[in-house]
Each structure stands twice: as structure tokens, then as C-alpha cells.
Amino acid sequence: MKNKPLKTLQYATLLIFVLSIVRLITGASDLTSVGTASAALLLSVPIALAGLGGLFSERSGVVNIGLEGMMIMGAWAGGMIGTKHGPWIGLIAAIIFGATGALLHAIATITFGVDHVVSGVAINIIAAGLVRYLSTILYKSGAWLGPSQSPDVNSIGTNGLPVLSGGTYFGWKSPDLLNLLAEKHWFFISDIAAVLRGVTGDLSYVTMIAIVFVPLSVFILWKTAFGLRLRSAGEAPIAAESLGVNVYAMKYAGVLISGGLAGLGGGFLAIVAANHYQENQVAGRGYIGLAALLFGNYRPGGILMGAGLFGFADALQLRDSASIHALILLIVLILVVLIIRDFRKGKILKAVLTLAFAGLSLWYFLAVDELPGQLVTMTPYITTILVMSLASQRLRMPAADGIPYRRGGMR
């Protein structure tokens, strides 16, 4: 356990080294630019919040497919309340609205025993229709700009690390050493400086709070009595009940925390990532948060890595197609590593299939100079599916996850 942070740091350094090589070969400078790293962090935060929300729900034994709908409700509330009462009140409203959607899911699944997936899908459908209906009412009353867009919300301040990433502190303008190194365009050193500058400079205060939720989730779930009781409700509810744990209360708590975090993710999209709510703003990020949860094997650190993967691919497709073209070469190099790993483990068939896909990807990289626009837009989703399917692992989901519970027995 003590070596995990060090190992994660080693993997991150290795990844930046590989990105540096790809940048040198292809000339795609945006692969490790300050702007890409900053955009990747911004796009990763709502997915990470949704994934952490799913973590609390699933650890309590309730599958939460409704994260998408809870994010939609949070985004809408953030836009509506934030416009009138400021961004911070808007974020609190987003948490409350997300938790309200979660409460409906909890009543249906925990109290009435409705199938968790059916309830979650219903929440997603209801949320999308409800916010559209309410937006139309506000538009007809003259309060909104259109039936699918709220007025602008005041921005939240940003800052960086003193000396390293600039920023202003009590009127003193800090130096920006990392940016100076990044502008040198030195191999590897400038790449590391650019990535660090992107993830530490011009940070919204909400982003800083969201990042703190990752270690805070680890502490709550694995270092507190509340976390132990919540996890016991998802692992062995009957045994937990025999020891005096209120399993119903733990499940409700897990789902409500889940909805609050998902709602905050939606509010982040409406207030920080943009400065207003817009229809279809969530764009499937609740589902991607669930994918990050599986990728991270129900662990906060893994969820952050999965969210970062999607955020990086999404940030690249927003910048230029040359970077996406270079990303294909990066995928090939990652596949080569996976092939070597599978051969060492004796997984010959999987290694051969991965080798075939790597060869096809390399051929496409060499044969095509510029990718079609539609493929560039789809890249974040394709990358997420590819990595999650090939970098498979032994998942350890909670033993009683998704199983209806009744006091005195599972059914």
C-alpha cells in the first residue's frame, strides 16, 4: 500500500516520456502543451465526480445507473440558481438537486425493491424531460434566453501555485517558472513542465475542491467507522445487520452522497467548464463516470485515472486533428506494452488479437495524414472503450451490489 503513490508517479512519468517521444516523431506539440493539460483536467473533473458518486452508491450495494440524470439535474439547477444568486449558491443547488434525484432512486430501489437498473434508467429519462419542460417555462416567462439555455453565471476565480505556476496573492504577482520551462521546448523536461503547469496553473477553486474529494473519499470509506458500515452494507448486509448496523440507513446515505457528487459534477459543467446551462451539456458523462468506476476497480485513485484518460482524449479533439492523428501512434505503443505483458502471462490468444489491432492501427497512422472530422469527435469515446477493453483486470465489485435487501434476508 505504501508503494502505490510512488508506483503511480512512476507510471505517470513514463507516460509523459512516451508522449514526448510521440511529440518528437509527429511534431504534434499539443500532445503535452499547457493548454491540453489544463483542458484535460477541466474535462476530467465532472467525470471523476460522477465516478466517485457511483463509488459510494455501489459500495453501499446499490447500482446507480441514474448518475447521468442526476448530473443533468445538477447542471440545470446550477444554471438556474447560479444566474440569480451567484456561482457558489448555484453549486450548492446542484448538489441538492442531484441528491433529490438520488433520493427518488433510493426510495424505489431500497424501500420498494425496484430493479436498480430499471430505476436508474427511469431517473435518466425523467431528468432529461423534466429540465426541458422547466426550461421552456422559464423561457416563455422571459427569464431565460431560450428553451434550452440559461443566462450567464458569474465566473469563479482561479489561481495557481506560488512561484511555480503564477497567480496573484494579496496583490503580489507570482513568477511562473513552469511556464518558462515549458516554452523552451526541451525534450521531456519541457513536457513535464507543461503538464505540471497545465494542472496547477489557472485552477478554479472548485477544481481544487473536487480534487480534494479523491483522498477524502479514500479516508471516509476506508479509515472511518461510517465507511466501514457503508461498505459492509454492500458486502454482507445480513452479517452487518446482525452486528447492529442499520443497513437501510447506510444504503440511503451511499445513494444520497452519490447523487450529491453527481449533481456537483453537473453544476461544474454549467458554472466552471462553461458559464451557463445548455441542453445536452452533460453529454453522457454520467455513463462515462460509471466506466471510470469499473476501470478504477471501485477505487478512488483508479476512478481519477479513468476520468483523466477520457479528459485527455477529449481535450485533444478540441484542439486539432494533428494531435488526434498522433494519438493513434501513442495507442500503438500502449498496445505493444500490453502485448508484452500478455505474452509474459501466457495469454497468447489475447496477445495475438492485440497485436493484430496494433498492426491495423499502425497501418492507419501511416496511411492517413488527416483524420475525418467525425472520427476526431468520436476519439474520446473510442479511446475509452479501447483502453477499458484491452487493459482488462480482475474486477472486485461489492458482493451484494445490486441485490435487493430486506431486513432479515436478501429478499
Q: What is the DSSP string of 231-288?
A: HHHHH-HHHHHHTT--HHHHHHHHHHHHHHHHHHHHHHIIIIISSS-BTT-STTHHHH
- DSSP states of 127-188: HHHHHHHHHHHHHHTTSSSBTTBPPP-PPPPEE--TTTS--EETTEEPP-HHHHHHTTT-TT
82 & 48 share domain = yes
**CA–CA–CA angle 327, 381, 392 (5° rounding):** 85
Q: Which grid coordinates belong to 315?
A: 481535450
- Inside any domain, residue 167: no
pLDDT at residue 76, as a whole number: 95
Q: Is the dihedral of CA 254, 260, 266, 271 positive or negative?
A: negative
Lowest mean pLDDT segment, chosen from 63-67, 336-340, 382-386: 382-386
SS3 337: helix
* Per-residue cell: 268: 461544474
Domain count, the chain: 2
Same domain, residue pair 313 and 332: no
Both 313 and 330 in a single domain?
A: no
Residue 24 lies inside a defined structural domain of this protein: no
Query: Which of 317, 345, 376 is the C-terminal boundary of a domain?
Result: 317
**End position of a domain, from candidates 317, 349, 371:** 317
* Cell 483508479, located at residue: 302
Confidence of residue 225 (pLDDT cuts 50, 70, 90): very high
Give phi and psi for 159, each to the nearest 5. -160, 175
* Rounded-to-integer distance, Cα 139 and Cα 243, Å: 54
Structure confidence at residue 345 as a pLDDT band (50, 70, 90): confident
Q: Does residue 247 sit in the same domain as residue 144?
A: yes
Q: Which position has the higher pLDDT, 92 or 176?
A: 92
Task: Judge whether 114 and 87 are in contact, CB under 8 Å.
Answer: no
Question: What's the CA gap between 109 and 131, in Å, rounded?
Answer: 23
Has residue 237 been placed in a domain? yes
List, for residues 109-153, the tens digit of each pLDDT value.
Answer: 999 999 999 999 999 999 999 999 999 998 888 878 788 888 889
Q: Is residue 165 part of a domain?
A: no
The packing angle between helices 67-85 and 116-140, to 10°, is: 30
Whether this model's pTM surpasses 0.95? no
Q: Does residue 248 surpass a pLDDT of 80?
A: yes
Q: Give 184: exposed, middle or buried? Use CB within 10 Å, 0-12, 13-18, 19+.
A: exposed
Pick from 285, 269, 298: which is nearest to 204 by CA? 269
Question: What pLDDT does residue 389 have?
Answer: 65
Task: Let me know how long the chain is.
Answer: 411
pLDDT in tens, 192-206: 998 888 888 888 889
252 in the same domain as 303: yes
DSSP 201: S
Same domain? For 242 and 133 the reply is yes
| Shared domain check, 225 and 372 | no
Greater model confidence, 294 or 226: 226
Answer yes or no: is 184 within a domain: no
Q: For 146-203, what is each residue's pLDDT tens digit?
A: 888 888 898 887 777 777 787 777 777 777 888 888 888 888 898 899 888 888 888 8
Residue 8 has pLDDT above 80, yes or no: no
408 touches 402 (CB < 8 A):
no
* CB within 8 Å of 403: residues ≥ 6 apart: 61, 410
Residue 378 belongs to what domain range? 320-391
Looking at the fold, whether 74 and 96 belong to one and the same domain comes out as yes
Contacts (Cβ under 8 Å, ≥6 apart) of 90: 77, 78, 79, 80, 81, 82, 83, 153, 267, 270, 271
60 falls in which pLDDT band (50, 70, 90)?
A: very high
Q: Is residue 304 part of a domain?
A: yes
Strands 158-159 and 172-173: unpaired
Cβ–Cβ under 8 Å, residues 325 and 369:
yes
Examine the fold and report which residue of 293, 317, 341 is the final residue of a domain before the chain moves on.
Answer: 317
**Mean of per-residue pLDDT scores for the chain:** 87
Residues 71-108: b if buried by 16+ CB within 10 A, e if exposed: bbbbbbbbbbbbbeeebeebbbbbbbbbbbbbebbbeb
- Same-domain status, 305 and 213: yes
Residue 402 included in any domain: no
**CATH code of the domain in which 145 resides:** 1.10.3470
Are the CB atoms for 361 and 375 separated by under 8 Å?
Answer: no
Q: Which long-range contacts (CB under 8 A, 24 or more apart) does 13-16 make?
A: 13/192, 16/188, 16/191, 16/192, 16/195
> Both 278 and 371 in a single domain?
no
Clarify whether residues 91 and 232 are in a common domain.
yes
Residues 339 and 211 in one domain: no
The residues with which 330 forms a beta bridge, in sequence order, are none
Is residue 18 situated within a structural domain? no
278 has which bridge partners? 149
Which amino acid is it at 146? G
> What is the C-alpha to C-alpha distance for residues 411 and 408, in angstroms, rounded to an integer?
9
